[in-house]
A and B are shown apart, each in its own frame.
Chain A
Amino acid sequence: MPRRARRAPGELEREVMSLLQQAEDALPPAEVKARLGGDLTYSTVVTILTRMRDKGLLVRLKDGRGYVYTPVADQSGLAALRMREALAAETDRRAVLSQFVGGLSEQEEEILRDLLGPA
């Protein structure tokens, strides 16, 4: 079907981005290719993913023997806001979060209070 045959590079990136954002998990290139449909080759998809990764739009994670790609949430976006909310609630009640290393140190709490406090 020629519907998706030709796309401008920017358009393709946007499509890949929204696809990954709506995905239930990080996706391998083959899955991205399948979901995009059309006549894109595997190496084209990998090239796009790599370019987007270089721009900081995606990250590549190791998953078993292969790689999967997942979008990077914007620092001013909703996901980042939720992250800050979670950390702020933690500062108040310090109960639920499991942090990879250490608890929140006093200094980190201070940074957070500075961030959220006066403004």
Chain B
Amino acid sequence: MNTLDLEDVFPFVLPLLAAAPGVRLIERLPPRSAVWTTTALTTVLSLTGLAGLGLIAADGALRFHAVEVLGRLSPTGLDRIDRTGKPVGLAAAVAFGTALAAFVGSALREALSLRTAYRTAARTPGSREVVVVGDAEARAFTLPGRPGRIFVSTAMLDALDERQAQALLAHERGHLHDRHHLFRAWVRVLAAANPLLRPLRRSLQYSLERWADERAAVAVGDRRTVAHAIAKAALAVPRSPGRCGLAFVTLRRGSAVPRRVAALLAPPPRPHFGIVLVAAVCSGSAVFAVLNGAAGLHHILEAARAR
């Protein structure tokens, strides 16, 4: 069977479609496992997706006379086998080019962002990790770098009691020490290549915050303290009453906060081997589909060369 059917390559689409509802399951894992599972799954699905599109595009390209001539392939040999048609191949080629451009563009943007962050961190006076800035607006964030910096405004510290402030700093240290910025940048690049992976990107963001939350809970020895710190900090961050068009965005972004608080008030999440297994099977089937497609294309080329 020297054919490359669409069915050989399309199975890589199925795990992609499953990814969106799947993230809710992954989010039930302990956050550290959730981050690693999401990152691995996004990596496999994004790269197999690109490869799959590339295969269909390559197969479609064989339909064009120029490719046959350049590749010294026999048209009669190619015609004898049932292959991807011109329109499908062309569409795949366009999609492949777009995805690849998005991938590369995103990689450059993320690298530039990280470089800017590292520079800003390096140019911040002193070498202290925690930089307290006198500011009337409640803010707290980490800036990756060597060393990374944790910026906290006095207004934010005023809004929290001492244990809650300790929780906040432990949360931010968690981001720095576990290098969450690298996970985030990598998954953003992968998701740029494929819009179907956006839910995974969003989910990773949530799981990273949860990971830092659980780290903070270990540091202060009490999950409730962290929950209260998050809630009080969220209320302290100024949020002007939004216009209609923007309210949705704010609501969606803000909605992670109640979930984080709820997760901290509930018992700590337990490892769940089944969920990891499902993710592994998804990844495996995507890889298998692409390898299968690659083998098909290889056979076609061999057949065409042979004549």
Contact = CB atoms under 8 A, between A and B. Distances in A.
B239 to A, nearest CB: 6
Interface stretch (B11-19, B158-166, B277-285): B158-166
Nearest to B209: A98
Interface in B18-53: none
Nearest to B176: A98
B9 to A, nearest CB: 32
Chain B interface secondary structure, helix, strand, loop or mixed?
helix
B132 A70 contact: yes
Contact of B132 (A24, A59, A82, A111): A59
Interface string A51-69: 0000010011111000000
B131 A61 contact: no
Interface residues of A, number: 43
B172 interface: yes
Interface string B120-138: 1101111111111111000
A106 interface: yes
A101 B246 contact: no
Interface string A28-58: 0000000000000000000000000000100
Contacts of B131: 73, 79, 82-83
B193 to A, nearest CB: 16
Interface in B185-216: 185, 188, 208-209, 212
Contacts of A70: 128, 130, 132
A82 B148 CA distance: 13
23 contacts: A25-B129, A25-B130, A62-B165, A62-B166, A70-B132, A75-B134, A77-B125, A80-B135, A83-B131, A86-B117, A87-B139, A93-B116, A95-B188, A96-B181, A98-B141, A98-B172, A98-B175, A101-B257, A102-B237, A102-B256, A105-B249, A106-B246, A108-B237
